[in-house]
Structure 1
Amino acid sequence: MILGLYEAHLPVSNLKSSIEYYKRLGLEFSHCHEDKLAFFWIDKGKSWLGLWETDKVELEYHPSIRHIAFQVSLEDLKNAVVWLNERGCKPREAFGFEPIEPFVMAHNGKAHAKIHFNDPDGNSLELICKIPNPKNLTSRMYLSEWERVNEEG
């Protein structure tokens, strides 16, 4: 039945500055609606992100709200800290990992590498990709350590 994510929405305090921020992330601007809502393509023609200008941006953050995870390739993720910094987007600590490089969270035979950052309004953004877990590891570690452990025989 469900084939993917069609759209997600985040609250922002200043739509004009948020549009510029999300353009720096490389998202393609689609359109605005009544100067309070802007849409960006995540996957053109398939899914998009809506930014709503509102005072609700003051709502206290919780992982179940105000969070978007963007799927990226592993090669792009390896360069994500530099890429984000070049765009004025500061990676942040998450799950006890300092933002020096992506980290891996593994469970139930699956693994994901990721890095977190916030937009100007404190909405939690994440770059993430699935990665192989040939040794069925369950530890959390930095990506470079993960790759080293999986290379060892």
Structure 2
Amino acid sequence: MILGLYEAHLPVSDLKRSIEYYKGLGLELSHSHDDSLAFLWIEKNKSWLGLWETNKVELEYHPSIKHIAFQVSLNGLKNSVAWLNEKGYEPREAFGFKPVEPFVMAHNGMAHAKIHFNDPDGNSLEFICKLENPKNMSKRMYLSEWEQLNELN
């Protein structure tokens, strides 16, 4: 029945600024309504992000709200820290990992590499990609360490 995620929504304090921010990440503006709502394609004609201008963006952060994870390729993720810094978007610490490179979280035979950052309103954003877990590890570590342990270099 469910084929994927079509849309997600975030609160923003300045819609025009947020549209430009997300366009800088590579999203394409689809349409906007009444200067208070905009939709940007994450993957054109497949999934989009809704941005709602509101004065209620000061919610305390919790992973269950104000969080979007964008799927990226492994090569894209490996270059993400430099790419974000070049655009003026600052990667942030997450799960105890400094934002010097992506890190891996592995469990139950799965693994994902990721890097986190925030938009101008403090919404939590993440670039993530699924990894093979040939040794069925259940650890958290930097991606470079993961590749060494799995002899992927």
Assess same fold via TM > 0.5.
yes
1:122 aligns with 2:122: yes
What per-residue deviation string (whole Å, max 9, x for no partner) do you get for residues 34-87 of structure 1? 100011001111110000000110111111000000000000000000000111
Offset, 1:7: 0.5
SS at match of 1:58: coil
Structure 2: how far apart are the matches of 1:113 and 1:82?
16
1:56 aligned counterpart, secondary structure? coil
The corresponding residue for 2:131 is 131
Distance 1:5 1:33 in 2: 22
- The runs of 5 or more residues in structure 2 that have no matched partner are none
- Opposite residue 122 of structure 1, the aligned amino acid is G
Pairing 1:54-133 to 2, within 5 Å after superposition:
54-133=54-133
Q: Percent identity?
A: 80
Q: One-letter code of the match for 1:126? A: E
Q: Distance in 1 between matches of 2:147 and 2:101?
A: 13
- The whole-number CA distance in structure 1 between the counterparts of 2:148 and 2:111 is 15
Q: 1:129 corresponds to which letter in structure 2?
A: C
| Deviation for aligned residue 1:106 | 0.1
SS of 2:150's partner is helix
Q: Distance in 2 between matches of 1:88 and 1:18?
A: 14
**Could you report, residue by residue, the CA deviation over 1:92-115 in whole angstroms, capped at 9, with x for unpaired residues?**
000000000000000000000000
- Give the letter for the 1:21 counterpart: Y
Q: Report the counterpart of residue 39 of structure 1 in structure 2.
A: 39
What aligned pairs does 1:18-37 form with structure 2 within 5 A after superposition? 18-37=18-37
User: Alignment RMSD, CA only?
Assistant: 0.8
Matches within 5 A, 1:137-152: 137-151=137-151
Query: Residue 14 of structure 1 corresponds to which residue in structure 2?
Result: 14
Paired AA for residue 128 in structure 2: I
The one-letter code matched in structure 2 to 1:43 is E
Instruction: Report the TM-score, using the length of structure 2 for normalisation.
Output: 0.98
Number of aligned residues: 152
CA distance in 1, matches of 2:138, 2:79: 24
